[in-house]
Amino acid sequence: MKLSIYQRRLLIYLVALGFSCFPAFGQKKTINQRVDSLLKLMTIEEKVGQLNQYSGREVTGPVTSRQTYLLNDIKAGRVGSMLNVHGVKDTREIQAVALQSRLKIPLLFSMDVIHGYKTVFPIPLAEAASWDLEAIRTSAHIAAKEAAAVGLHWTFAPMVDVGRDARWGRLMEGAGEDTYLGSLIARARVLGFQGEKLGGTDAVMACAKHFAGYGAAIAGRDYNAVDMSNQLLWEAYLPPFKAAADAGVATFMNSFNTLNGIPATGNSYLQRDILKGKWGYKGFVVSDWGSIGEMVPWGYAKDEKDAAFKAIIAGSDMDMEAEAYKKNLATLVKEKKVDIKLIDDAVRRILYKKFELGLFDDPYRFSNAGREQKVLNDPQHKLVARDVAQKSIVLLKNEKQVLPLSGAVKTIALIGPLGKSKRDLEGSWIPLSDTSLVTSVYEGLRSKINPSSQIIHAKGCDITDNGQAGFAEAIAAAKQADVVVMALGESYDMSGEAKSRTDIHLPGKQEELFEAVQATGKPVVVVLMAGRPLIFPKITEKASAIVYAWWLGAEAGNALANVLTGEYNPAGKLPISFPRSVGQIPISYSMYNTGRPVKNPKDIKYKSAYIDSPNSPQYGFGFGLSYTTFSYSNPKISKTTIRSTESAELSFTISNTGNVAGEEVAQLYIQDEIASVARPLKELKDFIKVALKPGESKEIHFNINREKLAFYNSILQWTAEPGNFKLMVGASSDDIKFIQKLELK
Ligand code: BGC
């Protein structure tokens, strides 16, 4: 029987209707079968529509021409996903528009939930300082729970870019400089966001970004080119992405940078060969904001159509906000320049996720007003935020045990622009800033110390002030106090996207304020809050104590008060080296020996050195003090020689030799001493965080196997070469407690 066009259309319509009206329809089929059936119904325009993502701040606001344009596109099935539409009311409203489209394919709602939705957690760089994977997973899980309760299906996190350049503002979003730690954190955050399995209403899709190399933008300038060897790419920059993929991350985002001349968005090597090829990745890749179109100014595509062509060929599945796909892909297919199979593959990947999330069964399942109310007001979330905030704090200096503050302190002077600030403590990338939920340092301390003790507050200066008008008041406050706590740092908009800086000294007159206050002779505890490592030489030299608190989020004040009073013993360790000067950047502990190493700092002539600075950072990767002390003893290795199929066990004892309970992060670094490719002096390969009561000891074991000894050789094979290895265990990268040797046969 031959059907007329009209009859055929009717049939398609009825099948499509079946999908939406009868949720049970097709449920016995596998997701792949359901995707295939749907794909068969789709026109080329509808397919391309699924690859199009708009930002929707305007869609729910007053009627503008952009709003009309977006809504018409959604109704016509020309949109696969929206970002920045959130909240049950708004997501329901916009989903209802998508369901008016011919095939009623639900939208994916996405947003940058980077460190919390309503409950603001510490910035990711801060959380990395906890070296506590369970705390990091939990923080991501609560962020996901809140996001999934406001209609969101997808967060653009975690950022897993390795970063070794403190000028780069986006360091705050990542896990710091180290590949191994960064990979474990990538995994923890993906598992936290995505929960047990996609489809739970307490989980959202995660997105490993920015693929790849973005953290190595030349000169730390955001959006800049990246030039790196394949070896460094594979060894240092790709593993956290691989870890995210292995953890089941639902999506990837590519990046704004070029990698060795080719924009990441148009980079087939990254997206087709590595990600979808070698790694067999089945999720989808979203472009970064407008990055398809940006291949034109990069000088890599001649116009938007060429950019769309290059991006789809290279494996970018969804176009965020460039509209390059929407306007050009169907034509490119009709002109036979792009094979429809490529479009089908991209659409299939996206539809698969929509099915997996359960959106075809209930497009509103994440938009439930009752759950929104309940989850966003769960008092537990605040406690989790406080817990991870205190775990993120790093104690850099504590002379004469000035910390914790003694209970006998009668008067504290709280000085500095961040003493009463709230917004700055949240940091950047906040979906909903509600400073009424933030505890300032002042409030935190006030609620924690003895009610009869006094806190005198003086701002001293603003963060970027040039003048010293407030200094006199600050000095007067210090003079009346037993101890001074200074709250200094960056404002929330000084680190983050597009916030690269050439000067990363503590901004404005804050160090001068510190010197003026310190000159009173009072003990000065400096609390530094920032989105990146800062440089603060005067404070380093003269402060009695230094607490690095990053941007700790809503519970910053309470977490800091717990640390300052000793209710919580700090155990954070730096996830990134702190340079002495900008001239040392990029800096990482995993540096090379060179052919001319400095053996004696007094003899640096013709050595790989600076004539005006040591090579070492001010504070090394992995560094952080405690209110107690730890000793490392009794190192042993089970075998001094192993074959590549065997492993050895390195063991030692850690003891708490101080008077209070505390936690220590023992770190294992390895160096292959002679290899076919020169190896860094140290690479982190394992660590353990142990809690010890005063006087308590624990035996620690690190398993050493081939995986920990391997590296990428000159033809990019992951290989462990026979020879001698140095196994170093330390309290930080620059505080190695003992070295054992191991030979690989
Ligand atoms: C950033 C991404 C972010 C996207 C959407 C871009 O400018 O680079 O990390 O996810 O905007 O907000």
pLDDT per position as a tens digit, 114-139: 999 999 999 999 999 999 999 999 99
- The pLDDT of residue 436: 97
pLDDT above 90: residue 28: no
* Cα 552 to averaged position of ligand 1 atoms, centre (Å): 22
Helix/strand/coil (H/E/C) assignment for every residue in 396-422: EEEHHHCCCCCCCCCEEEEECCCCCCC
Average pLDDT score, the chain: 95
**Closest protein CA for atom 6 of ligand 1:** 289
Largest CA distance in the chain: 98
Helices of type H across 546-685:
556-565
* Cα 70 to averaged position of ligand 1 atoms, centre (Å): 20
* Cα 495 to averaged position of ligand 1 atoms, centre (Å): 15
User: What angle is formed at CA 42 by the lines to CA 36 and CA 46, rounded to 5 degrees?
Assistant: 125
Q: How far apart are CA 292 and CA 300, in angstroms?
A: 10
Q: Which atom of ligand 1 is nearest to the CA of 255?
A: 8
Q: Tokens for 568?
A: 């919580």
Contact residues for 41 (Cβ-Cβ < 8 A; gap 6+) = 12, 15, 16, 103
pLDDT above 60: residue 468: yes
* Mean pLDDT of the region 219-240: 98
Please work out whether the CB of residue 288 comes within 6 Å of at least one atom of ligand 1: yes
**Closest protein CA for atom 11 of ligand 1:** 289
Choose the residue to mutate in 112, 285, 319 for probing ligand 1, maximizing ligand atoms within 8 Å of C-beta: 112
pLDDT per position as a tens digit, 391-402: 999 999 999 999
3-state secondary structure of 528: strand
Please work out whether the CB of residue 112 comes within 6 Å of at least one atom of ligand 1: yes
Choose the residue to mutate in 53, 155, 497 for probing ligand 1, maximizing ligand atoms within 8 Å of C-beta: 497
Other Cβ atoms less than 10 A from the Cβ of 583: the count is 10
- The pLDDT of residue 3: 52
Q: List, in sequence order, every residue forming a beta bridge with 650; answer none if it has no partner.
A: 637, 702
**Closest protein CA for atom 2 of ligand 1:** 288
Rounded to the nearest 10 degrees, the angle between the axes of helix 133-148 and helix 380-392 is 140
Alpha carbon 145 to chain centroid, angstroms:
18
* Cα 37 to averaged position of ligand 1 atoms, centre (Å): 33
Give CA separation, 411 vs 405, 417, 449, 519, 522, in Å: 11, 19, 10, 18, 12
13 against 209, higher pLDDT:
209
- The pLDDT of residue 207: 99
pLDDT above 90: residue 23: no
* Mean pLDDT of the region 582-607: 97
Please work out whether the CB of residue 289 comes within 6 Å of at least one atom of ligand 1: yes
Long-range contacts of 38-43, Cβ-Cβ distance < 8 Å, separation of 24 or more: 38/103, 38/105, 38/351, 39/344, 39/347, 39/348, 39/351, 41/12, 41/15, 41/16, 41/103, 42/103, 42/347
**Closest protein CA for atom 4 of ligand 1:** 289
738 burial via Cβ count (<10 Å: 0-12, 13-18, 19+): middle
Please work out whether the CB of residue 497 comes within 6 Å of at least one atom of ligand 1: yes
pLDDT above 60: residue 2: no
Q: How far apart are CA 60 and CA 647, in angstroms?
A: 59
- The pLDDT of residue 65: 87
* 98 close to 107: Cβ distance less than 8 angstroms: yes
Q: Tokens for 591?
A: 């540096």
Choose the residue to mutate in 123, 257, 288 for probing ligand 1, maximizing ligand atoms within 8 Å of C-beta: 288
* Mean pLDDT of the region 90-95: 96
Please work out whether the CB of residue 156 comes within 6 Å of at least one atom of ligand 1: yes
pLDDT per position as a tens digit, 489-518: 999 999 999 999 999 999 999 999 999 999
Read off the pLDDT band of 449 (50, 70, 90).
very high
Q: Which atom of ligand 1 is nearest to the CA of 209?
A: 9
pLDDT per position as a tens digit, 472-497: 999 999 999 999 999 999 999 999 99
How does DSSP classify residue 234? I
Please work out whether the CB of residue 209 comes within 6 Å of at least one atom of ligand 1: yes
pLDDT above 50: residue 656: yes
Q: Which atom of ligand 1 is nearest to the CA of 157?
A: 10
Q: Which atom of ligand 1 is nearest to the CA of 256?
A: 8
Q: Which atom of ligand 1 is nearest to the CA of 210?
A: 9
Alpha carbon 259 to chain centroid, angstroms:
21
Give CA separation, 704 vs 184, 411, 533, 728, in Å: 17, 52, 32, 12
Other Cβ atoms less than 10 A from the Cβ of 55: the count is 18
Q: Tokens for 315?
A: 């494996």
Active site residues per annotation: 288
**Closest protein CA for atom 7 of ligand 1:** 289
* 587 close to 617: Cβ distance less than 8 angstroms: yes
- The pLDDT of residue 313: 98
- The pLDDT of residue 4: 53
* 657 close to 734: Cβ distance less than 8 angstroms: no
Q: Tokens for 367?
A: 């938009």
Residue percentage of the chain with pLDDT more than 70 = 96
* Cα 289 to averaged position of ligand 1 atoms, centre (Å): 6
3-state secondary structure of 209: strand
Contact residues for 403 (Cβ-Cβ < 8 A; gap 6+) = 395, 525, 545, 547, 563, 564, 566, 627
Q: Which atom of ligand 1 is nearest to the CA of 159?
A: 9
Q: How far apart are CA 701 and CA 74, in angstroms?
A: 57
How does DSSP classify residue 676? S
| Residue 19 backbone dihedrals phi, psi, to 5 degrees | -60, -40
* Mean pLDDT of the region 211-224: 98
| Residue 524 backbone dihedrals phi, psi, to 5 degrees | -120, 120
**Closest protein CA for atom 8 of ligand 1:** 288
* Cα 436 to averaged position of ligand 1 atoms, centre (Å): 27
* 269 close to 280: Cβ distance less than 8 angstroms: no
What is the H or E stretch that residue 348 is in?
A: helix 340-356
What is the H or E stretch that residue 211 is in?
A: strand 207-211
pLDDT per position as a tens digit, 699-709: 999 999 999 99
Domains and CATH numbers, the chain: 378-584 (3.40.50.1700), 630-744 (2.60.40.10)
Q: How far apart are CA 402 and CA 627, in angstroms?
A: 10
Choose the residue to mutate in 82, 289, 291, 321 for probing ligand 1, maximizing ligand atoms within 8 Å of C-beta: 289
Q: Which atom of ligand 1 is nearest to the CA of 207?
A: 10
**Closest protein CA for atom 5 of ligand 1:** 289
Residue percentage of the chain with pLDDT more than 90 = 94
* Cα 695 to averaged position of ligand 1 atoms, centre (Å): 49
Helices of type H across 206-289:
230-232, 239-246, 268
Q: Tokens for 593?
A: 């020996």
What pTM was estimated for this model as a whole? 0.96
How does DSSP classify residue 456? E
Q: How far apart are CA 292 and CA 309, in angstroms?
A: 10
Q: How far apart are CA 288 and CA 303, in angstroms?
A: 18
Choose the residue to mutate in 156, 161, 209, 429 for probing ligand 1, maximizing ligand atoms within 8 Å of C-beta: 156
3-state secondary structure of 570: coil
pLDDT per position as a tens digit, 313-348: 999 999 999 999 999 999 999 999 999 999 999 999
* 275 close to 265: Cβ distance less than 8 angstroms: no
If you count them, how many residues does the chain have? 745
* Cα 112 to averaged position of ligand 1 atoms, centre (Å): 7
Q: List, in sequence order, every residue forming a beta bridge with 198; answer none if it has no partner.
A: 200
* Cα 62 to averaged position of ligand 1 atoms, centre (Å): 25
Alpha carbon 646 to chain centroid, angstroms:
35
Q: Which atom of ligand 1 is nearest to the CA of 173?
A: 9
Q: Tokens for 653?
A: 């004892």
Read off the pLDDT band of 27 (50, 70, 90).
low
**Closest protein CA for atom 10 of ligand 1:** 156
* Cα 157 to averaged position of ligand 1 atoms, centre (Å): 10
* Cα 347 to averaged position of ligand 1 atoms, centre (Å): 22
- The pLDDT of residue 576: 98
Sign of the Cα pseudo-torsion (730, 731, 735, 737, in order): negative
Q: How far apart are CA 461 and CA 465, in angstroms?
A: 6
How does DSSP classify residue 679? P
Which has the closest alpha carbon to 576: 56, 144, 295, 172? 172
